Structure 1
Amino acid sequence: MATASRLAGEFVATAILLAAVIGSGIMAERLAGGNAGIALLANTLATIGALYVLIEIFAPVSGAHMNPAVSAVMALRGDLAWKILPAYILAQLLGAACGAWLAHAMFDLPILQWSAKLRSGPGQWLAEAVATAGLILVVLRAPASRAAAMVAAYIGAAYWFTASTSFANPAAAFGRMLSDSFAGIAPASVPGFVLAQLAGAALGLGLHALLGETSSKTAKEIA
């Protein structure tokens, strides 16, 4: 039952996160009058709020990873059992897909769709590596009491200082390829993003080790 609760937590949290990211992108694009900057700002603020609340609620349940790269890092560190890692990733991917479909349903859009928005090239891949490395550093080094705020703040900032608008999450890339909306990414662009994210996660873990361990673990599996 404990494992089922963790997996349910990852599924629900990831679904809500993707619904927030995609849904706010749809709303922002409709209301921004063609101003991409205002649309991105609205999308950023919604993501910050959703991340903060989701981490606060689901951290005691599953660790609130919502991200296969984070879960893989936790498994490498021994904070998540390897035997549960595939189930965590599957729950996150299914949650991401359901979150995208939920956003479409709320805005009366076709449920099943593919994004046509290409996001590719060395600058985009470097941006995803940087965004993910920074996220892993924040997750591993943030004091537990401030983890939700710090992760949300970092992702909000990275929306603007990275060329890719900081997906930093293979599950997010998967969910967003299922939405031909403001937040979407074309399926052909996803493999490059995921590889860059995984490289960034390894870099973040290496930098954390170089800086030395901290006493807090913010995304540790609940025992």
Structure 2
Amino acid sequence: MNPVATWRRLLAELLGTALLVTAVVGSGIMAATLSPDDVGLQLLQNSIATAFALGALILTFGPVSGAHFNPVVSAADWFLGRRTGTGLSLRDLAGYTVAQTIGAIAGSVLANLMFDLAAVDISAKTRTGTHLWLGEVVATTGLLLLIFALARSGRAAVAPAAVGAYIGAAYWFTSSTSFANPAVSIGRAFTDTFAGISPGSLPGFIAAQLIGLALGVGLLLALYPDVAAAAEKVVIPAERAARRQRAASRR
């Protein structure tokens, strides 16, 4: 289990999620300001900033908490490792989820303030429809497959680049622009800007993300029957996981 104190891990998840949402919302505001008449360019600017920020944040906070920044990732880690005791405990899952959600809201507030907007400005941007929900299912399922496949195969070191690249790409190949994260979805409801989502649209998005969670876990179990062993590598500090891998290879 992760030797880092629980409060440090929760603080890392709160700060990491806050800065992720700040990057998403802040780059969206900047994009809309710099390219007011070109939505495609706005999305490009927003996606590039988010991809790079996510990779940097995983590098920064991964050694402390695993850098989940996402209740879906934390829930998958708990479920896959629950029988072997290799993932988050149920208590940790609850703590991570609360920290991530508070962090996401704080991230929107921070971005609003940085751009001289009202600290809390509830979004009026409606995002609803079966096609958008399907996009969220695809984005969430793919994210889980990537994270746990990397951990299982001993390639967790490339996760910052790989996860950042996936999210950046999913902005473009999914109809929903890949929220893939219940906490981030909630946080983005607190800004009426380019990246916002109305509170009324949240239930559909979160339900789709939970379906993606179930599909992702099911596919992981089908493709990798031993995936439970990887749950620990998504929680423990990266350097500790690397040491264990090196020690195992010498046996």
**8 Å contact 1:80–1:221 — kept in the other structure?**
no
TM-score in terms of structure 2 length: 0.86
- Residues in 1 aligned to 2:129 and 2:69: alpha-carbon distance in whole angstroms: 26
Q: Which has the larger radius of gyration?
A: 2
Q: What's the CA shift for 1:33?
A: 2.7
1:10 corresponds, among 10, 13, 16, to 13
Residue 50 of structure 2: aligned partner: 47
Distance 1:26-1:33 versus aligned 2 partners, 3 A rule: same
1:33-44 paired onto structure 2 within 5 Å: 33-44=36-47
2:129 corresponds, among 100, 121, 125, to 121
- Residues in 2 aligned to 1:61 and 1:159: alpha-carbon distance in whole angstroms: 28
- Residues in 1 aligned to 2:159 and 2:218: alpha-carbon distance in whole angstroms: 20
Q: Does 1:62 align with 2:60?
A: no
3-state SS of 1:164 partner: coil
User: What is the number of equivalent residue pairs in this alignment?
Assistant: 223
Q: Does 1:182 align with 2:194?
A: yes
**8 Å contact 2:55–2:163 — kept in the other structure?**
yes
**8 Å contact 1:144–1:216 — kept in the other structure?**
no
Question: Alpha-carbon deviations, 1:138-186, whole Å to 9, x = none?
Answer: 1101121111111111111100000000000001100001110000001
Residue 109 of structure 1: aligned partner: 117
**8 Å contact 2:76–2:213 — kept in the other structure?**
yes
1:142-153 paired onto structure 2 within 5 Å: 142=150, 143-153=155-165
Q: What's the CA shift for 1:221?
A: 4.3
Identity among equivalent pairs (%)? 50
- Residues in 1 aligned to 2:186 and 2:32: alpha-carbon distance in whole angstroms: 21
2:235 corresponds, among 198, 220, 223, to 220
**8 Å contact 2:121–2:192 — kept in the other structure?**
yes
Segments of 4+ in structure 1 off by > 4 A? Answer: 214-218
| Aligned residue identity for 1:114 | I
**8 Å contact 1:114–1:180 — kept in the other structure?**
yes
Question: Alpha-carbon deviations, 1:57-86, whole Å to 9, x = none?
Answer: 111100100001111111102211111111
Q: Does 1:85 align with 2:93?
A: yes
1:162 corresponds, among 164, 174, 190, to 174
Residue segments in structure 2 that go unaligned for 5+ positions in a row: 82-86, 241-251
CA RMSD of aligned residues (A): 1.4
Residue segments in structure 1 that go unaligned for 5+ positions in a row: none
